[in-house]
Amino acid sequence: MIAPSTISDNRKIRLVMSLRKSGIQDTDVLSAIERVPREHFIPDALSDQAYEDIAVPIGLGQTISQPFVVAKMTEALELSDLHKVLEIGTGTGYQACVLSKICRRVYTIERHRPLHEIAEANFKTLGLRNITTLCGDGMRGWPKIHNIEQAPFDRVIVTAAAREKPPTKLIEQLSVGGIMVAPVGRAGEQMLKRYKKESEDTWSVSDIMPVRFVPLLPDIATETSRETLCDESMVVA
């Protein structure tokens, strides 16, 4: 009998090879995908789909993104180990974990408290010490906490779709020379875009590819508990 860990490793290798064939060229990104155990971030009932190149539901109407989309967004950020990254939309933490393998530090905001709690538990289990989490309104950017300002950020990644353009506060919190990757547009018309802040007043913008993301929404969502999320995840599965 083949051990489950061996099966998982083989599926992971096939996924990385598939991403390379699909055009992902950054070796740091491919290495990060290979090193991150995606099964930790999805419901147990869907663990057999951990290394399929598909989005997976995680409850509360949210999904963990398709690995190709995660890899493409990460590659577009052009990360180095000196960068400080702001992520909007933690989910259960998969994208943040991939980022953490490449950059210096990740600050990530999730509006759904049950997902935020699961992400924090995942980061603790995996011993990730360069990720700081917050349950809050990501459209407002990273707040000053205990009179400490973390902005500006070298990179910003948004994992939910704004209607017309990224929120003004996120633009303000990106450093000059920094890059933001974010989906923009209404459902069925979304485009993943790359923004580069050339100066305080000027931007260059380029299209990456059509995508499908949940909408970017304000405020903290109203859920009752982590247990409610677990129940819903099982129903979705």
Positions annotated as catalytic residues are 65
Torsions phi, psi for 149 (to 5 deg): -100, 125
* Distance of alpha carbon 180 from alpha carbon 138, whole angstroms: 14
Torsions phi, psi for 190 (to 5 deg): -85, 140
Question: In whole angstroms, what separates CA 171 from the centre of its chain?
Answer: 18
- The CA–CA distances, whole Å, from 7 to 10, 13, 47, 86, 98 equal 5, 10, 12, 34, 21
Angle separating helix axes 67-76 and 4-21, nearest 10 degrees? 50
Beta-carbon contacts of 77 under 8 Å, excluding residues fewer than 6 positions away, are 83, 85, 99, 155, 157, 179, 181
Q: Which residues is 87 bridged to in the sheet?
A: 108, 157
Torsions phi, psi for 228 (to 5 deg): -60, -40
HSE-up of residue 180 (Cα within 13 Å, Cβ side): 32
* Distance of alpha carbon 94 from alpha carbon 98, whole angstroms: 6
Residue pointed to by tokens 């990740």: 106
204, 174 Cβ separation under 8 angstroms: no
Residue pointed to by tokens 């950017």: 141
